[in-house]
Amino acid sequence: MSFKLTPLPYPDTALDPAISAETLSFHHGKHHQAYLDKTNAAIKGTDHADASLEDVIAAARGTNQGLFNNAAQSYNHGFYWQSLAADSTSASDELTVMIDAAFGSTDDLKAKLADRGLGHFASGWVWLAEKDGKLSIEETHDGDTLADSDFNPLLVIDLWEHAYYLDHQNKRPAYLDAVINQKLNWAFASDNLARGTTWKYPA
């Protein structure tokens, strides 16, 4: 199978000014596409040719770093586009109860997400995730992912500079503040929690 670029679930101007159309055009159209192209080239004609992206990631972890990086980045970006929303969204009652239990309140969760994202050294991802009925904030470095982990990822924020440099230059706090407070897709997080299994990259 050949993995395809998942279309943005909103117009490319919809996240501005948190994330501009120019950033999205490069980040989605160039970066995400390149990770997919490299994944597809690496699996063509191999035992992985018909595997799901999550199975490619699991098989490549620890055995083929180049393929792992590109497959995991392909997944992470597909998940990231869904983690953002043009309009204000709401968490389900189930998710809200779990947020309050784990973090105190949604505002406290947002503050902790910003702290963890700011404190993350260099490139990576900060996630809201669920495991065994509890929520936590997780970080993965570089291209690493929760796709093949025991966690059910609910939301993710890209911490690579390519996610924010055109809009916010080196000011990661400004990017995190805008995304966390204006553009996170709480409905997507709620759907992921209700489904109870890890989101799958579209085949």
Is residue 160 a contact residue for Fe ion (CB under 5 A)?
yes
CB of 9 to Fe ion, least distance (A): 16
Is residue 167 a contact residue for Fe ion (CB under 5 A)?
no
Is residue 186 a contact residue for Fe ion (CB under 5 A)?
no
Which one of the spans 58-66, 149-157, 160-168, 178-186 is the region binding Fe ion (CB under 5 A)?
160-168
Q: Which of 64, 58, 46, 62 lies closest to 2 in space, CA to CA?
A: 46
According to CB under 5 A, which one of 158, 186, 198, 199 is a site residue for Fe ion? 158
- For the chain, report the end-to-end CA distance as a whole number of angstroms: 8
Q: Give dist(CA 150, CA 71) in Å, integer.
A: 18
Q: Which of 151, 147, 148 lies closest to 137 in space, CA to CA?
A: 151
**Per-residue contact track with Fe ion, 81 to 120, x per CB under 5 A?**
----------------------------------------
Q: Give dist(CA 106, CA 112) in Å, integer.
A: 10
- Looking at the Cβ atoms of 12 and 100, the one nearer to Fe ion is 12
Which residues, 6+ apart, have CB-to-CB distance to 131 below 8 Å? 150, 151, 152
The footprint of Fe ion (CB under 5 A) covers 158, 160
